[in-house]
């Protein structure tokens, strides 16, 4: 149960249920000006409990849509690789300043890690472009997804027309009569 949920009982000993803020808000407004309902029983106590519940914050809708799963996975991988690269570069710098024997291996690994970080960042860009093209987000005439959607729509139309034709033949009894007697 998260911070936006709480447990609510009906007052008569039945099982408790989770109530979110969205469900609780209309119930508080429904109690009326005096804070009372017709039954004046457990509902009044529940309304008082709900009136005391104040959220810590108000949730706002996201300004941007969530990234698609493959793109988000590539982005997380890139961030982790870049973070490790920065740590390696810092350790290489400190080892060099201290005159440690570990300086040379750390510099070499930092160079290799920088190449890997560049590759990871490029992977995020390529994954995003591929996802956009496959799922039709890019609205250009050359979009592959648009042609696929057009083909699927045409196939569905043909299938519905064939189904209507079969239903029409079944309704007539399939005797091949051209007109009713």
| Confidence (pLDDT) at 175 | 61
Average pLDDT over residues 6-18: 53
pLDDT-derived band at 28, boundaries 50, 70, 90: very low
| Confidence (pLDDT) at 154 | 94
The torsion of the CA quartet 108, 112, 113, 115, rounded to 10 degrees, works out to 140
Average pLDDT over residues 140-150: 72
Under a CB-based contact definition with an 8 Å cutoff, are residues 15 and 31 in contact?
no
Average pLDDT over residues 81-108: 95
């Amino acid at each position: 149960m998260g911070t936006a949920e709480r447990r609510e009982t009906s007052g008569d000993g039945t099982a408790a249920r989770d109530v979110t803020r969205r469900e609780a808000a209309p119930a508080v407004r429904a109690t009326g000006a005096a804070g009372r309902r017709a039954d004046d029983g457990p509902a009044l106590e529940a309304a008082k409990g709900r009136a005391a519940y104040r959220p810590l914050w108000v949730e706002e809708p996201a300004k941007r849509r969530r990234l698609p799963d493959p793109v988000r996975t590539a982005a997380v991988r890139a961030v982790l690789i870049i973070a490790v690269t920065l740590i390696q570069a810092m350790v290489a710098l400190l080892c060099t300043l201290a005159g440690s024997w570990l300086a040379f291996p750390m510099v070499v690994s930092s160079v290799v890690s920088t190449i890997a970080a560049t590759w990871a960042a490029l992977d995020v860009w390529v994954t995003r472009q591929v996802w956009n093209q496959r799922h039709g987000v890019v609205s250009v005439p050359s979009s592959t997804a648009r042609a696929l959607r057009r083909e699927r729509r045409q196939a569905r139309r043909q299938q519905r027309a064939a189904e209507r034709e079969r239903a029409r033949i079944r309704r007539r009894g399939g005797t091949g009569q051209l007109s009713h007697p």
